[in-house]
Amino acid sequence: MPEVPATPVAGSRVPFLDLGAAHAEVASDVEAAWARVWGSGRYVGGAEVEHFEQAWAHQCGTCHAVGVANGTDALHLTLRALGVGRGDEVIVPTNTFVATAGAVSLAGATPRFVDVDPDTLLITPAAVEAALTARTAAVIAVHLYGQLPEMEGLARVAARAGIALIEDAAQAHGATWRGQPAGSFGVAACFSFYPGKNLGALGDAGAVTTDDASLARRIRSLADHGRSARSKHEHVVPGINSRLDALQAAVLAAKLPRLGSWTRARQDVAERYRRALDGSAVRPVAVRPEAGSAYHLFVVRVPERDRVRARLDAAGIDTGIHYPVPCHRTPAFLRHACGPLPVAEAAAGEILSLPIYPQLPASEVDRVCTALEAALAGALPA
Ligand SMILES: *Cc1c(COP(=O)(O)O)cnc(C)c1O
β strands within the chain, DSSP E: 64-68, 89-93, 110-114, 136-142, 164-168, 176-177, 180-181, 188-192, 206-210, 283-284, 291-292, 298-301, 351-354
Work out the widest C-alpha separation in the chain, in whole angstroms: 74
**For residue 190, how far is its CA from the centre of ligand 1 (angstroms)?**
9
Radius of gyration of the chain (CA): 21
Distance 199 CA to ligand 1 centre (A): 12
Pocket test for ligand 1, best of 171, 197, 208 (most atoms within 8 A of CB): 171
Note down pLDDT in tens along the chain; length 382 residues: 445 444 444 569 999 999 999 999 999 999 999 999 999 999 999 999 999 999 999 999 999 999 999 999 999 999 999 999 999 999 999 999 999 999 999 999 999 999 999 999 999 999 999 999 999 999 999 999 999 999 999 999 999 999 999 999 999 999 999 999 999 999 999 999 999 999 999 999 999 999 999 999 999 999 999 999 888 899 999 999 999 999 999 999 999 999 999 999 999 999 999 999 999 999 999 999 999 999 999 999 999 999 999 999 999 999 999 999 999 999 999 999 788 999 999 999 999 999 999 999 999 999 999 999 999 998 666 5
Q: Closest Cα partner for 369 from 352, 349, 381, 382?
A: 352
Q: Residue 313: what residue type?
A: D
Ligand 1: centre distance to CA 72 (Å) = 6
What's the 152 CA to ligand 1 centre distance in angstroms?
24
Residue 71 in contact with ligand 1 by CB distance below 6 A = yes
First to last CA, the chain: 11
Which numbered atom of ligand 1 lies nearest the CA of 171? 15
Give yes or no for residue 206 CB within 6 A of ligand 1.
yes
pLDDT of residue 378: 81
**CB of 185 closer than 6 angstroms to any ligand 1 atom:** no
CB-neighbour burial class of residue 8 (10 A; exposed 0-12, middle 13-18, buried 19+): exposed
Q: Could you tell me if 219 and 208 are in contact, meaning their C-beta atoms sit under 8 angstroms apart?
A: yes
Assess whether the C-beta atom of 194 lies below 6 angstroms from ligand 1: yes
Residue 42 Cα to ligand 1 middle (Å): 27
Q: What is the 3-state secondary structure (H, E, C) of 117-157?
A: CCCCCCCCHHHHHHHCCCCEEEEEEECHHHCCCCHHHHHHH
Single-letter amino acid, residue 72 = T
How far, in Å, CA of 316 to CA of 20, rounded? Answer: 19
- Any ligand 1 atom below 6 A from CB of 97: yes
248 lines ligand 1 (CB under 6 A): no
CA distance 12 to 56: 37
Task: Tell how far the Cα of 21 is from the centroid of ligand 1, in angstroms.
Answer: 22
Residues 6 or more apart from 263 whose CB is under 8 A from it?
Answer: 173, 174, 175, 198, 294, 295, 358
Our mutation pick for probing the ligand 1 site, out of 70, 194, 252, counting the most ligand atoms within 8 A of Cβ, is 194
Rounded to two decimals, the pTM is 0.96
Question: Rounded CA gap, 188 and 182, in Å?
Answer: 10
Q: Is the CB of 70 under 6 A from ligand 1?
A: yes
Rounded CA-CA distance 198/186 in Å is 20
Q: Is 170 in the pocket of ligand 1 (CB under 6 A)?
A: yes
Alpha helices in 41-118 (DSSP H): 47-60, 71-81, 99-106
Nearest to residue 166, comparing CAs of 214, 210, 126, 133? 210
Instruction: Output the pLDDT for position 381.
Output: 64
